Amino acid sequence: MLAWREVLVYYPTFFLSRIALGLGFGYRYFGTTRVPRAGGVLLASNHQSNFDPVVVGIALDRPIHFMARDTLFSIPGFGSLIRALNAFPVRRATADLEAMREALSRLRSGDPVLLFPEGTRTKNGEIGPVHAGVVLLAARAGVPIVPVVIDGAFEAWPRHRPLPRRHPIRVLFGDPIAVPGAEFRDRVLKELTAALHALRAELRGGCDAPAPAVSAGAATEPVLLPGRGPDGPHSSHEAHA
């Protein structure tokens, strides 16, 4: 049974956002059949712009949950809106254990949670080092990680611009990555990093730069949300707009 806020706020907001981004930014998404339709799942995405939670969330039929900077919740009206859209606060530049516990609780409750394992928005459009906290969180929750790549959002709304500009935005979901346990952290971290770069190369037609070294973050490090299946943007499966 759907909660009232999903009926009254979440789905109407994301439906209108899908239309607006499709018309204004040529928004398209691929690979959503790779995302489990039930149970907790950690969506690990690169972080290009303030658009990112929206462009990932509106691609899926399931409501997603995501972290947002704690100061945003104090903005009158806006704080209530993002809470209704399943956001929960995280304190920047700190090991916010409360936010991590909330993410863990939502994953264990069977919700999809979006995290950005680079920890901050990119300064140049490239994928930065991936922190290990995302892997440790998935291991504790007992859920798979689905790699997600956003491309074009940096050009549309880089961090130094106060307002967005028109540029095509595309999102590609990868195959789930199993996390057997925390002791497999390094292996899973390398697999996740490789998957993110492979997905971006797929979106860009196969041309990409070498992946950087991964960062072995601590278990308490806050993370601000490889297989490849057959339904990517260059396959016979139709893209969604």
Answer yes or no: is 224 within a domain: no
Answer yes or no: is 214 within a domain: no
Over the stretch 173-218, which tens digit does the pLDDT of each residue have? 999 999 998 889 999 999 999 999 999 999 998 544 444 444 444 3
Give residue 2's pLDDT: 60
Give residue 239's pLDDT: 63
Over the stretch 7-48, which tens digit does the pLDDT of each residue have? 789 989 989 999 999 999 999 999 999 999 999 999 999 999
Structural domain containing residue 78:
4-203
- What the block records as the tokens of 192 is 């996740």
Kind plus residue range of the DSSP H or E element containing 154? helix 153-156
Answer yes or no: is 12 within a domain: yes
Answer yes or no: is 231 within a domain: no
CA angle (221, 199, 102) in 5-degree steps: 30
pLDDT confidence bin for 3, thresholds 50/70/90: confident
Answer yes or no: is 175 within a domain: yes
**What residues are paired with 150 via a beta bridge?**
171
Answer yes or no: is 186 within a domain: yes
Over the stretch 49-97, which tens digit does the pLDDT of each residue have? 999 999 999 999 999 999 999 999 999 999 999 999 999 999 877 778 9
Give residue 235's pLDDT: 38
pTM summary value: 0.84
Cβ pair 216, 132 in contact under 8 A: yes
Cβ pair 48, 121 in contact under 8 A: yes
Statement: residue 5 has pLDDT above 50: yes
- What the block records as the tokens of 107 is 């994953």
Distance CA 159, CA 153 (A): 10
Statement: residue 226 has pLDDT above 80: no
CATH of residue 157:
3.40.1130.10
Answer yes or no: is 106 within a domain: yes
Calculate the CA dihedral of residues 137, 142, 143, 145 and round it to 10 degrees. 50
Over the stretch 95-129, which tens digit does the pLDDT of each residue have? 789 999 999 999 999 999 999 999 889 999 999 99
Answer yes or no: is 38 within a domain: yes
Distance CA 232, CA 32 (A): 9
- The total number of structural domains that make up the chain: 1
CB atoms within 10 A of CB 177: 20
